[in-house]
Amino acid sequence: MQGTAIAQPNIALIKYWGKRDVALNLPAVGSISITLRDLHTRMHVTFDDALEADELTINGVPDQGMLPRLASCLDRVVEHDRRCARIDSQCNFPIAAGLASSASSFAALTVAAAHAAGKAMTTAELASLAGQASGSAARSLLGGFVELVNTDDGIAVETLCDADEWPLEVVVAITETGPKAVGSTEAMEISRKTSPFYANWVDQQAADLDTARAAIDDRDFDALARVAEHNCLKMHSIMWASRPPMVYWNAATMRCLETVRALQARDVAVFFTIDAGPQVKAVCLPEHAADVEGALRATPGVEDIMVSGLGPGARLESTP
- Region 48-107 residues binding ligand DP6, contact defined as CB under 6 A: 100, 102
The amino acid at residue 97 is A
Q: Which residues contact 29 (CB under 8 A, 6 or more apart)?
A: 15, 16, 17, 18, 150, 201, 202, 205
Q: Is 12 in the site for ligand DP6 (CB under 6 A)?
A: yes
Q: Which of 4, 8, 31, 299 binds ligand DP6 (CB under 6 A)?
A: 31
User: Is 163 one of the binding residues for ligand DP6 (CB under 6 A)?
Assistant: no
245-304 residues in contact with ligand DP6 (CB under 6 A) are: 275-276
Alpha carbons 139 and 213: distance in angstroms, whole number: 15
Distance (Å, whole) CA 137 – CA 145: 14
Per rule CB under 6 A, count of chain residues that contact ligand DP6: 15
Check binding of 35 to ligand DP6 (CB under 6 A): no
When the beta carbons of 100 and 113 are compared against ligand DP6, the nearer one is 100
Residue 33 or 259: the one with the smaller Cβ distance to ligand DP6 is 33
Question: Which residue's CB is nearer to ligand DP6, number 256 or number 263?
Answer: 256
| Residue 15 is a binding residue for ligand DP6 (CB under 6 A) | yes
Options 4, 5, 16, 310; binder of ligand DP6; rule CB under 6 A: 16
Minimum CB distance to ligand DP6, residue 247 (Å): 14
Phi and psi at residue 111, to the nearest 5°: -65, -45
Could you give the CA distance from residue 73 to residue 132 in angstroms, rounded to a whole number?
A: 8
Work out which of 2, 25, 57, 204 binds ligand DP6, going by CB under 6 A: 25
Q: CB nearer to ligand DP6: give 3 or 98.
A: 98
Q: Are 157 and 148 in contact (CB under 8 A)?
A: yes
Residue 31 in contact with residue 15, Cβ under 8 Å? yes
Pairing state of beta strands 19-21 and 61-62?
unpaired
184 touches ligand DP6 by CB under 6 A: yes
Q: Which range binds ligand DP6 by CB under 6 A, 133-141, 255-263, 278-286, 295-303?
A: 133-141
Separation of alpha carbons 34 and 10, rounded Å: 5
Question: What residue type is 238 in one-letter code?
Answer: I
**What single-letter amino acid sits at 126?**
L
Other CB atoms within 10 Å distance of the CB of residue 131? 27
Closer of 3 and 135 to ligand DP6 (Cβ): 135
Span of 12-20, 78-86, 216-224, 293-301 interacting with ligand DP6 by CB under 6 A: 12-20
Question: Which is it for the CA torsion 150, 156, 161, 163, positive or negative?
Answer: positive
Least Å from the CB of residue 17 to ligand DP6: 6
- For 86, the 3-state DSSP assignment is strand
Q: Which residues bind ligand DP6 (CB under 6 A)?
A: 12, 15-17, 25, 31, 100, 102, 134-136, 184-185, 275-276
